[in-house]
Chain A
C-alpha cells in the first residue's frame, strides 16, 4: 500500500487544524488554488467573502471576540494587497491574526509574473512578523511559529506568503510543537520588586486613578482590576479599546476617557495624583497635549511590550509583565488608600457633568444608541465602525464584560464595523452581535451583506445615517469655519432597499417614537442578518471633546460660542 505524501497546502491545512482553527475567511485566485483545494477535505469552514478587506476584518472581529487568532486566506498580488488595511488595523490594536497569501511560483519571484507582488515587502511595516516560504518542508515550523508569535506577548498579525510550487509540491515534514525563537521572549510575571514599588506608590496616593486599556482585555485582567479598584478605593477609567475589561456600570467606574470620553473621566485625569496604566499606551487621543498631561501625577505603566515604556510620557515606574498576572500579584499588598474625598469628588463630577443630548429636534443617534444599550444591557457584542456613531456608541453603550466591545481604535479604519461583526458572530454564535456603522463606513464593506446572508448569520447592523461623513463634518464646523469640503454623502443608497436586494431583512427608524419598536424587532429576529437604518439629524456633534493637541483640562463640554483655532494635534 502506498502512502500518499500530502502536498504543502494539505500539510498547512493540517497544521491549521492542529492549531484549532475553525474558520478561514478568504477569497480565491490562481496562486491560492492549492490551498482552497486542500480546504475541500478539511473540517475547517471556509467563509468566502466579497472583498479581501472584509475577510481581514472578519478574522479580526473573530479574534477580538474569542481571543483566538483569526485566519485569512487570499491570492497573490491584488488579493494580498487588499488585506493591507486589515493588517494595519490588527497591528495597531494588537489583534492576533494569520494572513495566508498565495504567491507566484518561486522561480518567478521578482520577475513581474502575473499577479506577483512583493507582499512581504509591502507589508513589513504592518505585521508583527512575516514569512516567505521557500521550501515546502518549512511549512510545519512556519505555521507553528506564526501562531505562537501572533497570539503571545503583545498579539499581532503574522503574514505567510506561499509560492504556489511550495503549496503544490509534496511536504511530509513532521508537525512541530515547540519553537525556538531566541529573539522573541514573552514577558509573564513581573519582577516582585516592581510589584512592591507599585504597592508603595498606590498606598501613598490620595487621588489614584486606574487607566485600563486593551492589554487588560487581551490578558483577561478585568476581574483582578475591579478587585484592585475596590480594595484600593480607586476609580477606574478605560480607553476606547479597554471597554469591557471592567464593568462600566460599576460604581467606581467613570467610563471612557480621552478625546470624546466622559467629562468626569477626564476631570479625574486632570486632578489625579497617581495614574496607573494597565495595558494602555498613552495614545494621543488620551493624553492630548503631552506637556500638560498629568504633569504632577505619579505615572505607573503595566505593559507586556517594553517598547511602550517612556514612549509618550516619562514614567515613575514601568512594570513589565502580563496585565492579569501583574494585578493579581499586586492585590495581596494593597491596602485602602486615603481616597474617600477623591471618590466623593469624582461622584460629584459624575452628577454635575453627565453625558447628555437634546431630547427635541428630530431623531438623534445618541437616543438610538442609548436605547440599544437598554435593550442589550451589556450582554450583546457591539462592534463599531469609525466616526461620530463610534464615539456615541462608546459613550452610551456601556460594556460590562470582556470581549463584548470591538472597535478599530489605533487605525480608525472605516469599513471595519460590519465585517468585524460577522467575524465576531462566527466566533460567538450564542451571543447577540450588533454592528453600529455610519452611512459612510458601511458602504466601504457593505458587499459583505452577501457573506452574512449566505450563512444566515443572525448578525444585526445598525446604520446611523446622517448623510454625512459626520466626524469630518464636525471638525469642519468647529475648526474650519463651517466650510464643508468632501463630507456630503449625497447619493447614498436607500439602505433598506440595499439590504433587501441582498435578501436581508431591514427596517427603518425615522422618528424617536419608532426606536424601541424597531430595535425590538431586530433583537428578536433570528432568521439571518438584519439591518436597521436610523435616519438621524444631519448635523449633530459629539461632545465632550478635547480638540486634538489641546490639554485634557481644556475639554469642551459643548460647542463654544466663539470660533475655534484649528487643532494642533496629530489628526
Chain B
C-alpha cells in the first residue's frame, strides 16, 4: 500500500449527498479481475453520456478543478461494498476525501487502499465546498501525522480523528494482512479453545 502523510493540493468539489458506490463505479464495470484501470470509469454515468461524450457540467470534466482531494457531500460511499469504488478513486488520483459522513464499508475500503477519509463538521464542509467552487485554486494541507486539515486562505484549521492503528498503517504503507499473519499463534490458540 502507498504511504501517505502530507498532501498539499487544491480540491475537487462534489456537493452531492448520499453518493453511492454504484455512482462511483457502475456494476457493469465490475467484470474486471484485477485492480487497475477503474479510474477511467470513475463516476461514469455522471461524467459521460451513454455514447461516451463527456457531460460538460460534471466537475471532473471542468479543467479548472483538479487536485488529489475530493470534497464530497454527506454520507459518501453508501450502498454496495464494492472496493472497486475505492480503486477507481485511487486510480483517478484522489488521496484524500473530505466529507461530513462516510459509509462504514467505504471508509474501511478507502483506508485499505491508501485513501484518507477525513470527516469534518457539516458546517466546515459547506465552507470548503463554497470556497473551492468560487475559487478552484483554494489550497489545502493535510497532515496525517498531526491529524490536521488546513485551508490557509480561509483561515480554517481543523483536527480530524483516525484510529491509531490505521494511522500507523497509512503512514508506513502497511496493511492488515501483515499484522494478522503475525498473530497466527493467537488465532490457532483461539480455534483450539472454542467450545462451540
A binds B: no
On B, residues with C-beta under 8 Å from A are: none
Interface residues of A (CB under 8 A from B): none
